Structure 1
């Protein structure tokens, strides 16, 4: 169980805290996407994390087609199947960063 959680959190950037799943993946450039079948009690979450060359500048999350502005999903045990899509900027894409002292 601890190894599974280590892989989810460290490698794939997924974390679960107080019934919410959040996403902060940092994938190698040659990983275009990965998929996870995550069971929460009797509910299946089909999660796809995809690097995109679109104008995405930060992580975006949808649950069953609806945008999640807080980039998290509430895990519920409703015995249904849920589709989660996480889009992240492609590795190596330039981003505008402003630094000030």
Structure 2
């Protein structure tokens, strides 16, 4: 199986082909892993009260940029991790405006 593809399943230890992956292009896992990356690592996540931006990235990262659609609008988000914590403390700009906190209401 291709190393960049998620399998739908991997056979268990009681199967003659233990460890074999199957149905590599028929799974929804890739889209879920994309969502995990955006919502819980980069933490640019839609919530009922607004858009949550609270990165949890490797401390070695200097930052990142992401374009996010939310409630009919597209936002250009820049996260600068200049102090290099892995969680919290990053400076966040949305469409060029710097914000305090991590829940952006009415943007």
For normalisation by structure 1, the TM-score amounts to: 0.51
Larger Cα-atom Rg: 2
Q: For the structure 1 residues 69 and 31, does the alpha-carbon distance in structure 2 shift closer, same or farther, using more than 3 Å as the test?
A: closer
Q: Supply the RMSD in Å over aligned alpha carbons.
A: 3.0
Moved over 4 A (4+): 59-70
Question: 5 Å matches for 1:1-101?
Answer: 2-40=32-70, 42-53=72-83, 58-59=89-90, 61=92, 63=94, 68-74=99-105
Structure 1 runs not aligned, ≥5 long: 77-101
Q: Which has the higher contact order (CA 8 A, sep 6+)?
A: 1
Larger strand share, 1 or 2: 1
Is contact 2:67–2:76 with CA below 8 Å preserved after alignment?
A: yes
Scaled by the length of structure 2, the TM-score of the pair is: 0.49
Aligned length: 74
Deviations 1:51-92 (A, max 9, x none): 023xxx73554555666444211355xxxxxxxxxxxxxxxx
Question: What SS does the corresponding residue of 1:26 show, helix, strand or coil?
Answer: coil
